[in-house]
Structure 1
């Protein structure tokens, strides 16, 4: 009993120390007063004026979890249910499931942990540009005289914008961790409204420019997380389609074609291997045959080959055997745009099959 009585206060001290450590390392711990005020204003948290920095920080701390870690706490039942369906999770009739139980389920399936959210707000430039259009990235680079080599592809634009983010913030005399309006100087009001519409956020009324920027800034992280989730879902669908498609094509090959493919790629085939065993070997080594272990590259290469087929499966796979390296090179050289077109073509072809 004495041991328990001794350990209990020690546990309280330890918990307090952990909480104190987290608070002292919180991203907003180093924010300037203007950043703290900006965050509170963006999230409609009232604060008295004048207020010293310490009180502002306490207000941010009090509301941080609600707005930045678990924003779904403010969602209605319809939005909570919609999120769960989007994640492929079954939902009961609203009358059978309470709002609290829905929140608990959304929490367990949320995009990121609290630690991840904390870390990513330290490195804003790593993700904040990802929801921008190519034209908006170009305008940002042009406005701040950031040289971008030709051709000005999206990957290059993103890289240059990220690399120069801190320098632009310093030049503007603003903070970079929770950026001010300087970040959106090159955006028109229609750009701001279009971004909000595209990502499913209501346009504030009245639509003053400051209000529009505040809404875009406040929702940028959630928009980025949604976009990442959609990209993963899309990629998985493309990979599933690619696997189905290549399986159908492999099944259409003759024994001699399978052996020829294995010989060309130095894949040993034991004597007495049956046709079905040959097919299994090709399936096992198809990533190596493509010259790249990335499934999406293999899928794009297979799509390129089948897309050019003139007389069905045999001709398609003939092209695969003779042109893997060329196809993969084309996909790599084409970047995101080529992959996007390849995935679209693959999906269309898969439906036809």
Structure 2
């Protein structure tokens, strides 16, 4: 241990003298020469031609902090003051004339650390598309033949575009770490100018397509950071508005007060909505904003009953949605890691490597509103007793068929048999797998408007009890849609 400590001390001391990090994390260390040249060109930094890679890398290194880690050091006092105000930092008149004081304040409230900045530029695909409009993402997917499940919503488009980012670059024979013009092939000059205007960056004058792309690319990280900060601020503001909004207060409001609250908080109220329906809508949004509970959809099929919330939820039918949400929330708390991942996989939600159980549960709750775009063994858990027996009887699996013919088989046994049969079919592929997937598609399609209508009350209770959800209260059957 002492020898290792000595080696490290010598290495670090040598590093301090040489000024180069022997375990450097700089993103540009792995960039291609064309990427180094592109970065320098985007930032109007002259470089010799021809130049070897080491010369280019040194030029990027010498300018990296000024443009990437702490770009604010080159801002004027007005821009520095504007930034501080956006972060809620008051600036004194004396400080306005002292640029160094302003720079110091900005540094202490900057969006990210140097380490986070290096990490971000090491994996550009994780953020560079986030500031794109939905139409831009659709055009990118269509241009490169990226399949996007229906309905093609922004979240799904973004996830698919990210997943195929490097594949698209390779097909085009391009590099992807500091992307070239290939990334913006589907953008018109007006699209590029609109992006710059939207995110507060002046368009280059005189402008050309090349200069516009360079400006968008150069400012993409800062635009992403500003967007994230704005969203976090909006979320915090909304949370503050809802945090003091109790059920008692909601119940005390009249129709005009409820509508006024909805207008202020961008809650769309369908025309002709009754007072109780508006109250339920406010409660639903409160739950979503506070991440207190989440909507139960037909695809997850866990929201058909009241639960431990009991009397709080059972007071009126317009509270059945919240009751269902609570039941789903409790059910998720009992799931295994494999089930949590399967739920997310079926909805195209990326699962970060090394995610802990609590993190997976939080991710499931945040994405419970998303539509399932695929099937897995857990999907069988959501089908009725009769649907399960029907599948087992026609699955072509002898063991499954035998269980379907048993008059004493419980729903739990049917689910386990269906999961086992499906897993076998999935492994075998071919007609068996196609048949299983086709059956699932037909069964879930038929269940869209009446997920639990065909279930007996005892089946529903047994289903909830299997997740540790107390089902001793009145069972509502609200209709949900995908």
User: When the two structures are superposed, what TM-score results if normalisation uses the length of structure 2?
Assistant: 0.53
Corresponding residue number in structure 2 for 1:213: 213
Asked whether the equivalents of residues 26 and 118 of structure 2 are also in contact (C-alpha less than 8 Å), the reply is yes
Q: Is the counterpart of residue 63 in structure 1 residue 57 in structure 2?
A: no
Corresponding residue number in structure 2 for 1:13: 14
Report the Cα offset of residue 244 of structure 1: 2.0
Change (3 A) 1:32 1:323: closer
* 1:231 counterpart SS class: helix
Higher helix share: 1
Corresponding residue number in structure 2 for 1:323: 321
Unaligned runs of 5+ in 2: 1-8, 254-282, 296-311, 329-365, 372-482
Give the stretch that moved more between structures: 49-58 or 61-70: 49-58
Aligned-residue RMSD, C-alpha: 3.4
How far, CA to CA, are the matches of 1:27 and 1:17 in structure 2? 20
How far, CA to CA, are the matches of 2:293 and 2:90 in structure 1? 30
How far, CA to CA, are the matches of 2:79 and 2:94 in structure 1? 12
Change (3 A) 1:144 1:318: same
User: When the two structures are superposed, what TM-score results if normalisation uses the length of structure 1?
Assistant: 0.71
How far, CA to CA, are the matches of 2:136 and 2:182 in structure 1? 14
Q: Is the counterpart of residue 143 in structure 1 residue 143 in structure 2?
A: yes
Structure number with larger C-alpha Rg: 2
Change (3 A) 1:332 1:180: closer
Deviations 1:300-342 (A, max 9, x none): 98xxxxxxxxxxxx9xx8566443145788x966569xxxxxx
How far, CA to CA, are the matches of 2:203 and 2:168 in structure 1? 27
Change (3 A) 1:96 1:232: closer
Corresponding residue number in structure 2 for 1:296: 290
How far, CA to CA, are the matches of 1:93 and 1:79 in structure 2? 15
Report the Cα offset of residue 53 of structure 1: 1.1
Corresponding residue number in structure 2 for 1:104: 104
How far, CA to CA, are the matches of 1:148 and 1:251 in structure 2? 42
Alignment of 1:64-213 (within 5 A): 64-94=64-94, 97-213=97-213
Asked whether the equivalents of residues 169 and 176 of structure 2 are also in contact (C-alpha less than 8 Å), the reply is yes
How far, CA to CA, are the matches of 2:163 and 2:11 in structure 1? 46
Asked whether the equivalents of residues 80 and 106 of structure 1 are also in contact (C-alpha less than 8 Å), the reply is yes
Alignment of 1:170-319 (within 5 A): 170-246=170-246, 249=249, 296-298=290-292, 318=316
Report the Cα offset of residue 297 of structure 1: 3.9
Corresponding residue number in structure 2 for 1:35: 35
Unaligned runs of 5+ in 1: 1-7, 254-288, 302-313, 337-353
How far, CA to CA, are the matches of 2:85 and 2:139 in structure 1? 37
Report the Cα offset of residue 247 of structure 1: 6.7
Asked whether the equivalents of residues 294 and 368 of structure 2 are also in contact (C-alpha less than 8 Å), the reply is no
Q: How many residue pairs get matched?
A: 280
Change (3 A) 1:244 1:63: same
